[in-house]
Every structure is written in C-alpha cells, then in structure tokens.
Amino acid sequence: MSYPSNMQDSLNLVVASRERRMSETFPRATAEAKDELLKGFHPDYRAETFATLRVGPNSGDRTPRELADLLEADSTLPEVDSLKSNIQNPDHDCDILIIGGGGAGCAAAIMADDAGARVMIATKLRLGDANTMMAQGGIQAADKDNDSPAIHYVDVMGGGHFANTPDLVEALVTDAPEAIGWLEDLGAMFDKNPDGSMKTIHGGGTSRRRMHTARDYTGAEIMRTLRDEVRSRDTIRLLEFSPAVELLTNDKGAVTGAVLLNLNLNRYSVVRAKVVIVATGGSGRLHYQGFPTSNHYGATGDGLVLAYRAGAHLAFIDTMQYHPTGAAYPQQILGQLVTEKVRSIGAQLVNSEGEQFIFPLETRDVVASAIIRECQRGKCVTTPTAVQGVWLDTPMIEIHRGAGSVKRELPAMVRQFGRHGIDITKEPMLVYPTLHYQNGGVEITADCATNVTGLLVAGEASGGVHGRNRLMGNSLLDVVVFGRRAGVVAANQAKERTGDLQLGLAHVERWRRDLQQKGLGSEVKSPLLLPDYTRKAS
C-alpha cells in the first residue's frame, strides 16, 4: 500500500516545493498569534464539549463530557452491606499498594523496596502495559554545561502557559539529572556521542538541547529497564490483570487499601495497605471529542475516578494534550503517535499545497491548533476513509542530514509505516492531532501527597506539573521523578502509620447518597476499566 491516486496531486506539490523549502525557515509565532490560534482552534476551547461537575470535591469545575460522566458515575461494586464481611478479611496485606504497573508505578516500587517496605503492585493488564512503553521521542534533563535546572524550569513554565504548580516544576527539573543517572545505573541505554557523552536534541518549546533519546524507542527502553528491575526482585509482589475498582477507607476517611477485580476469574480481592500510590496513567481511551488516541488500551482514567470518590481534589481537568502528529493514514494505524523527534531532526509540516504553515517546534498545543486550522481552511488532504490530515515531510531529514538519517534515528517510524508500503525516507507522512496526554489529574504536592491521608499519586494520573500544556520529554521525566519520590515518601509514611487500618466503604455510601441528592442516576458505573469498541445495534 502506498498513497492512493486521489492524494497524488497534493504529493506532487509537496515534492515540487522542497527545493524552495530547503532554504526557507518558517518564523516562530508571536505570543499574540499563538493565543489567537489556541482560542480559535484548540479542542480545549470548544465549550460545547465540556460539562460542569455537579458532585464531589470539584463541583462547579468543567471537564470534558466523557470524563464528567465517569467522575459522576456510581461505583461498580454491589451494595456495600453485602461486602462488609468480606472486606474485613483481606486477601493481601502490605505496607504499600501501588495501583498501576507503568513507569511511575515501577519506579515507586523500586524505591520503596530499597527502603525495606513490603510492596505490592496491582496492574490492570501486564506489567509495563502503559503509556510509558509507547513514548518515543525522549526524556528531558538539564545535564549539559550550557544548561541548568533553572533554564529547564523556565521552559516548563512557559510551555504550560505559566499555570503550572511551581513546587512541582521545581521538583521535576531539580531531580532530572539524577533520574537519568539512576536509569543508566539500572541498565537503560541512551544514545551516545562517539566520546561517550549523552546525545541530546531539541524538543518543541525548549531553549536547549536536553532531550535524551534511545532512537525513537525511548519509552520502551525506560519501561524495559524498570519492568525488568521490578521482576528481578522477589520482594515485590505483583498482581497482573487485577485493576482496582474501589479504594478502601477507615472511619476518618483515610485510605487503607483497595478492592481489586481479577479480570481472568471475575473475582474480587481485598488488599490492606498502610499507603496506596495511584499510578494508573491517563485517559486517552475515552476519546474526548471523538479524537483518535495514541494511548494504550487500558488508559481509561481509573485513578481519577477512584481518588475523586475518596475525596481527592483534581487539578487542570479542563485541559488535555492533543499531540499534533498522529498518523492519519493508513487507517490501520490511525491515531498512533508520530514522535515529535521527527520534527526535531528536520521534517517540515506542510499543507496540501506544499506550503509550510507553522514553525515545526512550537509547543504542541500551538502546532495542533495550526493543523486543525489548515484543515478547516480546506488546505488538507482527505483520505478514502474521510480522515483529514496534513503532510509531515520526512524526506527533508535526508536532504539536510544525509542518506540513512531517517533509518538511523527513527527505526520505529520506518517500521510502522513500512508495514503498509510507505517508505518515509522517500514519502511524507499524513498526520492529524491525536489525543495524547492528560495534562491534569489528582492534585498533589511535591512529595506526591493528596488531600486524602494515605493516598499518594504519581505520573500522568497527577495534575499540576505541566500546567495547561506539556512539553515533549517531560512525561517520561515526570513518571521517573515523581514515581521515585512517591516510593520514598510512601515507605516513610508506612513506618509511621499504625492502628488506623480499618477497612471500609463509607465513602462509597456517602457518594451514593450525594448522587441521589443531586438527582443523578446510577445507570453509569465507573471505573470503566476497558474501552468498548463493539458495534452498537442501530
């Protein structure tokens, strides 16, 4: 399969414009132009696609309708009275229960285990089935002579439109160099220069080359390293295919464990824990506003739902990240990520007429908005399945960097498109924004604490560090930095916490009463756990 005939005229215009574009640098947008783009075209500004929450700690706040439905839903558990006797006899007992087996969960488990805590990981799918595994472009850290955590801090704040929680950004950038060293010590293999120094590249919105990469498999390399380290430790207990469906609390509202559902046996089990770390990741599989997504199959926002019902406050839940370059063709890979690294090393974004329309390394929200604008103007290509997109001209990489550059730097992309007969060394990719990241989540402090005793949150399930837009490479950094912090803090809290580990579901009973008082039905249940792609009868 290559590109069909109805797309060839546009392809010819792209090829014809390359000579001109070789010496053409598209200017960066002014602050005013960026603001106009965002307000005019970014999905976060489509008021009709949002709902106002009517119950819970964030009552009165707005969030996408798909998430609001789950946050205001009833628990999946049966009536609490029927479970009380079972809850008092837990199946598992540990110091720290980590819900989620991605990068943040594994980093937390390793650090807590190092501190001598009894650790259990309960993960929805297999260990490592997470957005961490699917991240491609790189991980940021200011560890070069021309860089510093202070400069990194300014970049992060600017990328987040200065809405970020400053303490969280300070923690992120300060811990970053140590986090890279820790990953290397565990066995992560980053790209190196001939002299052995770290190879680094630019990302959108960054003022320094601080992106550490492992070709375009960076997330997979980090997840491999963390997963293998967890599996090598027989002191860390692991329950796979066992998502949490409810948190447990004592009579003071503090979290004391969780109810898990074994997906293979369809059977509940109860875990008592002194501290619970929610590391469940994002919610891209809710397909906000009908967007395709780059997220893994289990990314359905479970952690937000569980924490919210237990009384945790959420932050920045009105902003999602739509990665500007998701695959728009072929249909088989619709929405799959085309890493920002493609633009970092020289590919240009051009419309159907072969014209550049945005500086390729603006922040992700700005680039995504510009692509949506071009499509609304009709300067896009429409595929046989009625998907719209613009061109990401990858052959420009070879023109500027020499033959072999694409295969050397982007092996995952070469394989992803090559399976469908598209040679990205010679042909551009067709791309359109894809739902990529949950900018907000459970509100945390720099030590990963929430407003609920006994509950910590780390990684994409948390909110605040990225403000209203995340920069490339800071998600992998986020899961490592705050996963590590959560593990250390949880181990310390577990040593101090004794005597208040009563297991109960009073918060669920209160939740159900609140729903009833607000006139909200119980037909919708949450957490969703897995998306439903079955065809509904018309």
Catalytic residues: 323, 343
* Residue 514 burial (C-beta neighbours within 10 Å; 0-12, 13-18, 19+): middle
Length of the chain (residues): 538
First to last CA, the chain: 33
Cα 190 to Cα 215: distance, rounded to the nearest angstrom: 8
Helices 474-496 and 166-186 pack at an angle, to 10 degrees, of 90
249 Rama sector, left if φ>0, alpha if ψ -120 to 50, beta otherwise: beta
Cα 103 to Cα 482: distance, rounded to the nearest angstrom: 10
DSSP letter for 431, please: E
Cα 431 to Cα 19: distance, rounded to the nearest angstrom: 22
Closest CA to 335 of 178, 138, 508, 134: 134
Question: What is the secondary structure of 74-130 as a DSSP string?
Answer: EESS--GGGTHHHHTS-SEEEEEEEE--SHHHHHHHHHHHHTT--EEEE-SSSTT-S
Contact 473, 323 (CB under 8 A): no
Cα 129 to Cα 124: distance, rounded to the nearest angstrom: 8
Closest CA to 154 of 218, 219, 213, 210: 210
Cα 28 to Cα 362: distance, rounded to the nearest angstrom: 7
Contact 168, 464 (CB under 8 A): yes
Separation in Å, CA 280 to CA 105, 246, 441: 8, 13, 11
DSSP H helical ranges for 162-291 = 166-186, 218-231
